[in-house]
């Protein structure tokens, strides 16, 4: 009986050493160059239709009378910031084709030359070179995700960029100018 107890102790000790060695190898693999532990993919799909979340707002909490405004066009830049605003005074020849807006974030008014009414992008909108507006205030695994509340929509930044790579749409995102990954359901396009 004493011999069996000793053998069981030896086996238990060997198993403990083996488990510790395996654990050490796993930990060491985390710091060995060339070994990468991949974060899980974010699986999102674009909204084919706009859904109502609050009143008459869409899934991004953008209301029908909301505009994105800017002082300049995207041009050759990778991206530019745009601001959410409400139109106060429409553009006329007397205002040099500028419209006056109430800026949602700061509450100030400003005359703007460029403004855009938008909608949530669909699968048909996902094309190379397409200009899209992106919410910047929510990300996971380096992928920009859509806003989660009306307040975040109105207090966080938005930017305008072009889709430059759509090869990862099966993973739920595209790449835009500047190398930013954006979830398919976080893309807005201009309504003509």
pLDDT in tens, 137-174: 999 999 999 999 999 999 999 999 999 999 999 999 99
> Which pLDDT value is given to residue 159?
98
Hey, which of 14-18, 28-32, 39-43, 71-75 has the most confident mean pLDDT? Answer: 71-75
Task: Give the angle 137-143-148 at the CA atoms, nearest 5°.
Answer: 40
Strand (E) or helix (H) holding 132? strand 131-135
Longest dimension (CA), the chain: 105
pTM of the model: 0.71
pLDDT digits (tens, 9 = 90+) for 66-97: 999 999 999 999 999 999 999 999 999 999 99
Minimal CA–CA distance to 153: which of 62, 87, 79?
A: 62
Task: Give the separation between CA 133 and CA 42, rounded to whole angstroms.
Answer: 20
- Rounded mean pLDDT of the chain? 84
* String of DSSP letters for 159-172: EEEEEEE-TTGGGT
| pLDDT top residue among 119 and 46 | 119
52-62: average pLDDT = 80
């Amino acid at each position: 009986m004493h011999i069996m107890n000793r053998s069981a102790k030896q086996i238990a000790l060997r198993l403990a050493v083996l488990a510790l060695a395996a654990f050490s190898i796993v930990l060491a693999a985390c710091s060995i160059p060339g070994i990468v532990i991949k974060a899980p993919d974010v699986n999102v799909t674009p909204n084919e239709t706009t859904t109502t979340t609050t009143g008459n707002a869409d899934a991004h909490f953008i209301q029908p009378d909301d505009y994105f405004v800017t002082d300049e066009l995207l041009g050759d830049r990778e991206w530019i910031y745009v601001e959410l605003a409400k139109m106060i005074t429409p553009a006329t020849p007397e205002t040099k084709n500028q419209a006056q807006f109430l800026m949602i974030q700061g509450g100030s008014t400003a005359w703007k030359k460029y403004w855009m009414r938008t909608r949530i992008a669909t699968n048909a909108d996902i094309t190379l070179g397409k200009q899209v507006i992106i919410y910047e205030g929510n990300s996971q695994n380096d992928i920009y995700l859509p806003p989660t509340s009306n307040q975040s929509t109105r207090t966080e930044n938005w930017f305008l960029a072009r889709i430059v790579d759509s090869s990862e749409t099966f993973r739920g995102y595209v790449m835009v100018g500047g190398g930013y990954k954006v979830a398919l359901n976080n893309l807005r396009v201009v309504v003509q």
